[in-house]
């Protein structure tokens, strides 16, 4: 062994050599200048250089620049006889950055330091994992301390909170310190009405059940809050529950929103009374209870007399105020347990539980009395009356449907008896069926005797400030039954098949009368005719139209066909085919009452329709209901994007007109402009040149 060789030469060398060579960590020896003189396989694998390459290199050559001074410091210390442990980094042959934990020792040869020997452990992945854990823990702590959720952990053995997040202060009004000092302090803030329920849940928790439930608390400041709690029992390896992990969320805003939505869904927006939906649930509940307890239930149907006249003549705003006053008066006549519901328009329903007829009559009398008292609004005095129909459970029916129907029949009997009175249902009131049969038997005679007539409601273009067409509406004046509304006979005529004959008469009459207007100089008008599903489905329908146009020498643009959404969706392929035929001859198609049916928007383009008629149900409350407003805006925008015109039906107020015009809907019809008129009056309206837009500022 030469003097320059730093390694010892005694018999232990072989043992040391073996420990060095097979060490899983990088082993190396350096001379006094820092050159590698010995490396093991692990070192070769770590740095990526071959053994030959390494033995021709200095350790400094594999150090990143920022590690050189730091590492040299420990190398020199080892050359001074010290054992050092430190952290550094190297750069491998393929430019990878490796973090190392290094131990270096001086090499003695006959008491003379001739170099250093070292072991370097690759801690790159360990350090990376540690940093990720630190980062993750930091993130978790940040979340724990910042979220509005109260997170907590309770140790059952020690009977103490292990931790609780700062959100406890916001939710309960108590600090972390207060909760840690007294872990059951939260129970003092549970709403008294929810205490029993929470206690039951706690029992389930200790039995090992995971919980998720909602309850109310009283905040430190006195406000009532809703919270949602989720708690999980944690078990040890033996299955014993050792702690609870839970969270508490403030759901007050959500509950308020839910309550608001529930109230909107079950209450009338104008009067705040229960609506049809709630009435349906209430009456089912009342009947079930009455059946169980053998009690009586009285159902009343109340309708204000001639209220439509007030709406039409004085406006719906005033009418709405009157309805609010009347609703308040009627409610004051009822007992606490009774239900008063607004059914729509001027109709109200009343449920009286566990009551006899004598007391029910007294309540009906009180209702009529308070309704008939003068109402002073806007310096005007109004006198109203009402008609009330009464049905009794179980005498007049076992189901809600029967009771409602029979109270309605009794109410119409009260109206027929002079109004301002009430009637109890009697079996002889079952005249509806007789009337229905009579109507069904009268269709043929009505056509022969000219009992049908058409009324025309103007359709206007607000932008052009003129009438552009009319919608033809059928009317029936029966010789014995009097006026029969379309809602009463159209459906029956469809059932009997007479709709084909009646519909043909409507088309013939409308074409003839629009031709009469053309001959009198009104050549730029069209007539829009409602066509039933059965008519439209007829194979000869398009040919019938072509014959009518030719017979009356009408331009196809003078006739528009209206079909409902449900008609459009009955047989889509056939409907599309017929619409294409109509389009080819120049007859335009309108979808009536759009938005109330179930048509797919994807079919609108396929149908090649020209006009969407926005149903009056959306227009009525458009200025009061943001949902209705949004629907109308959406329909108008969608139609515009598809190149489809829109006509708003049921426009009755100037404010509605202004709003519709502002969103781009320029074609409208409704009582604001004119009610449906007999043909002669419609002609007079045109001849008079009456300004239907005198109140419209644009």
Q: The domain spanning residue 602 has which CATH number?
A: 3.20.20.450
Boundary of a domain, candidates 402, 430, 458: 430
* From 7-11, 399-403, 457-461, 470-474, the region with the lowest mean pLDDT: 7-11
pLDDT at 3 over 50: no
182 and 60 within one domain: no
The residue behind tokens 């709690």 is 229
pLDDT band at 2 (very low <50, low <70, confident <90, very high): very low
Which CATH number covers residue 272? Answer: 3.30.70.270
In a domain, 489, yes or no: no
329 and 239 within one domain: no
Task: Identify whether the C-beta of residue 230 lies closer than 8 Å to the C-beta of residue 263.
Answer: no
Name the residue with higher pLDDT: 549 or 130: 549
pLDDT tens digit sequence for 258-284: 888 888 888 898 999 999 999 999 999
pLDDT tens digit sequence for 21-52: 888 899 999 999 999 999 999 999 999 999 99
Task: Identify whether the C-beta of residue 103 lies closer than 8 Å to the C-beta of residue 26.
Answer: no
pLDDT recorded at residue 577: 83
The DSSP string of 323-356 is HHHHHHHHHHTS-TT-EEEEEETTEEEEEEES--
Mean pLDDT value across the chain: 86
Average pLDDT over residues 386-394: 93
289 and 205 within one domain: no
211 and 295 within one domain: no
Reduced to 3 states (helix: H, G, I; strand: E, B; else coil), residue 291 is helix
576 and 503 within one domain: yes
pLDDT tens digit sequence for 614-645: 988 889 888 888 888 888 998 899 888 888 99
221 and 185 within one domain: yes
The DSSP string of 183-232 is TTGGGGGB-GGGHHHHHHHHHHHHTT--EEEEEEEE-TTS-EEEEEEEEE
Residues with Cβ within 8 Å of residue 54, at least 6 apart in sequence? 28, 36, 39, 43, 44, 47
**Nearest residue to 346 via CA among 418, 411, 435:** 411
Boundary of a domain, candidates 411, 430, 449: 430
Task: Identify whether the C-beta of residue 81 lies closer than 8 Å to the C-beta of residue 87.
Answer: no
Reduced to 3 states (helix: H, G, I; strand: E, B; else coil), residue 137 is helix
In a domain, 447, yes or no: no
In a domain, 388, yes or no: yes
Question: Strands across the sheet with 386-393, in order?
Answer: 339-344, 347-353, 297-304, 386-393, 422-424
**Nearest residue to 364 via CA among 427, 424, 322:** 424
pLDDT recorded at residue 657: 93
Number of structural domains in the chain: 4
Query: Other C-beta atoms within 10 Å of 664: how many?
Result: 13
pLDDT band at 555 (very low <50, low <70, confident <90, very high): very high
pLDDT at 356 over 70: yes
pLDDT band at 304 (very low <50, low <70, confident <90, very high): very high
The DSSP string of 438-454 is HHHHHHHHHHHTT-EEE
pLDDT tens digit sequence for 193-228: 999 998 998 888 888 888 888 999 888 888 899 988
In a domain, 465, yes or no: no
250 and 184 within one domain: yes
556 and 646 within one domain: yes
Average pLDDT over residues 423-435: 78
375 and 284 within one domain: yes
In a domain, 26, yes or no: yes
**Nearest residue to 456 via CA among 623, 240, 675:** 675
pLDDT at 455 over 80: yes
Average pLDDT over residues 288-314: 83
The phi, psi pair for 447, rounded to 5°, reads -70, -40
**Helix, strand, coil share (%) of the chain residues, nearest 5:** 45, 25, 30
226 and 101 within one domain: no
Task: Identify whether the C-beta of residue 564 lies closer than 8 Å to the C-beta of residue 597.
Answer: yes
pLDDT at 571 over 70: no
Average pLDDT over residues 282-304: 92
pLDDT recorded at residue 1: 40
Question: What Å distances lie between residue 79 and 30, 117, 272, CA to CA?
Answer: 10, 10, 93
**Nearest residue to 77 via CA among 116, 45, 127:** 116
pLDDT band at 382 (very low <50, low <70, confident <90, very high): confident
In a domain, 201, yes or no: yes
The phi, psi pair for 373, rounded to 5°, reads -70, 145
pLDDT recorded at residue 248: 87
Which CATH number covers residue 246? Answer: 3.30.450.20
The strand pairing partners of 86, in sequence order, are 102
pLDDT at 544 over 60: yes
pLDDT recorded at residue 348: 96
Task: Identify whether the C-beta of residue 385 lies closer than 8 Å to the C-beta of residue 265.
Answer: no
pLDDT band at 591 (very low <50, low <70, confident <90, very high): confident
Boundary of a domain, candidates 200, 234, 256: 256
Question: What Å distances lie between residue 205 and 151, 212, 233, 518, CA to CA?
Answer: 17, 10, 7, 83
pLDDT at 312 over 90: no
Question: What Å distances lie between residue 371 and 24, 304, 329, 390, CA to CA?
Answer: 100, 9, 7, 17
Question: What Å distances lie between residue 620 and 344, 616, 653, 656, 693, CA to CA?
Answer: 12, 6, 9, 8, 19
pLDDT band at 175 (very low <50, low <70, confident <90, very high): confident
* From 70-74, 317-321, 431-435, 497-501, the region with the lowest mean pLDDT: 431-435
pLDDT at 10 over 60: no
555 and 617 within one domain: yes
Reduced to 3 states (helix: H, G, I; strand: E, B; else coil), residue 470 is strand
Q: How far apart are CA 560 and CA 669, in angstroms?
A: 15
352: left (phi over 0), alpha (psi -120 to 50) or beta: beta
pLDDT recorded at residue 141: 58
The counts of H helices and E strands in the chain are: 26, 27
Q: Dihedral of the CA atoms 551, 553, 558, 563 (nearest 10)?
A: 10
pLDDT at 388 over 60: yes
The strand pairing partners of 101, in sequence order, are 87, 121
97: left (phi over 0), alpha (psi -120 to 50) or beta: beta
678 and 578 within one domain: yes
pLDDT recorded at residue 442: 92
Q: How far apart are CA 117 and CA 31, in angstroms?
A: 9
pLDDT recorded at residue 139: 58
In which domain, by residue range, is 82 found? Answer: 13-127
Tokens of 129: 């994992």
């Amino acid at each position: 062994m030469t003097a320059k060789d730093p390694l010892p030469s005694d018999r232990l060398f072989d043992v040391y050599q073996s420990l060095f060579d097979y060490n899983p960590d990088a082993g190396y020896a350096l001379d006094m200048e820092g050159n590698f003189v010995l490396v093991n396989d692990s070192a070769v694998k770590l740095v990526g250089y071959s053994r030959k390459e390494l033995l021709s290199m200095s350790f400094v050559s594999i150090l990143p620049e920022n590690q050189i001074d730091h590492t040299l410091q420990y190398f020199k210390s080892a050359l001074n006889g010290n054992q050092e442990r430190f952290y550094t980094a190297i750069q491998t042959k393929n430019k990878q950055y490796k973090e190392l934990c290094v131990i270096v020792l001086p090499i003695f040869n006959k008491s003379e330091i001739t170099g250093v020997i070292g072991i370097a452990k690759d801690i790159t992945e360990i350090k990376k994992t540690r940093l990720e854990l630190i980062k993750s823990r930091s993130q978790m702590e940040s979340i724990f301390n910042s979220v509005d959720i109260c997170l907590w952990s309770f140790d059952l053995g020690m009977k103490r909170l292990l931790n609780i997040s700062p959100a406890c202060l916001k939710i309960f009004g108590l600090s972390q310190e207060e909760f840690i000092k007294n872990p059951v302090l939260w129970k003092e803030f549970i709403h008294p009405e929810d205490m029993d329920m929470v206690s039951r849940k706690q029992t389930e928790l200790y039995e090992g059940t995971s919980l998720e439930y909602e309850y109310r608390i009283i905040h430190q400041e006195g406000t009532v809050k809703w919270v949602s709690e989720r708690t999980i029992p944690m078990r040890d390896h033996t299955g014993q529950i050792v702690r609870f992990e839970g969270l508490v969320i403030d759901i007050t805003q959500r509950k308020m929103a839910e309550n608001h939505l529930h109230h909107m869904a079950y209450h009338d927006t104008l009067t705040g009374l229960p609506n049809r939906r709630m009435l349906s649930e209430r009456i089912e509940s009342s009947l079930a209870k009455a059946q169980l307890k053998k009690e009586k239930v009285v159902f009343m149907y109340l309708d204000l007399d001639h209220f439509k006249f007030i709406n039409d003549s004085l406006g719906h705003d005033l009418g709405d105020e009157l309805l609010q006053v009347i609703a308040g008066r009627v409610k004051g006549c009822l007992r606490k347990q009774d239900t008063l519901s607004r059914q729509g328009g001027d109709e109200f329903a009343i449920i009286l539980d566990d009551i006899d007829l004598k007391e029910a009559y007294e309540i009906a009398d009180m209702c009529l009395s308070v309704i008939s008292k003068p109402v002073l609004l806007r310096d005007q005095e109004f006198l109203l009356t009402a008609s009330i129909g009464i049905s009794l459970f179980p005498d007049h029916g076992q189901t809600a449907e029967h009771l409602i129907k029979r109270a309605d029949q009794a109410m119409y009997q009260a109206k027929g008896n002079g109004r301002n009175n009430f009637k109890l249902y009697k079996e002889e009131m079952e005249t509806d069926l007789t009337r229905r049969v009579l109507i069904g038997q009268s269709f043929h005679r009505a056509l022969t005797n000219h009992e049908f007539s058409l009324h025309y409601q103007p359709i206007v273009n607000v932008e052009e400030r003129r009438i552009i067409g009319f919608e033809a509406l059928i009317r029936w004046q029966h010789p014995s039954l009097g006026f029969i509304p379309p809602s009463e006979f159209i459906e029956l005529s469809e059932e009997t098949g007479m709709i084909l004959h009646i519909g043909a008469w409507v088309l013939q009459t409308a074409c003839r009368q629009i031709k009469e207007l053309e001959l009198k100089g009104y050549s730029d008008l069209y007539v829009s005719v409602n066509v039933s599903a059965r008519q439209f489905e007829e194979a000869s329908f398009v040919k019938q139209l072509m014959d009518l146009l030719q017979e009356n020498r009408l331009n196809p643009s003078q006739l528009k066909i209206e079909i409902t959404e449900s008609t459009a969706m009955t047989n889509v392929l056939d409907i599309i085919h017929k619409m294409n035929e109509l389009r080819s001859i120049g007859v335009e198609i309108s979808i009536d009452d759009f938005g109330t049916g179930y048509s797919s928007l994807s079919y609108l383009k396929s149908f090649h329709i020209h006009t969407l008629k926005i149903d009056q149900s959306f227009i009525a409350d458009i200025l009061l209901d943001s949902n209705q407003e949004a629907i109308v805006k959406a329909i108008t925008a969608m139609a515009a994007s598809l190149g489809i015109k829109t006509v708003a039906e049921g426009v009755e107020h100037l404010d509605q007109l202004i709003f519709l015009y502002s969103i781009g809907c320029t074609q409208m019809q409704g009582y604001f402009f004119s009610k449906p008129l007999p043909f002669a009056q419609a002609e007079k309206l045109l001849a008079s040149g009456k300004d239907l837009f005198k109140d419209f500022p644009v």
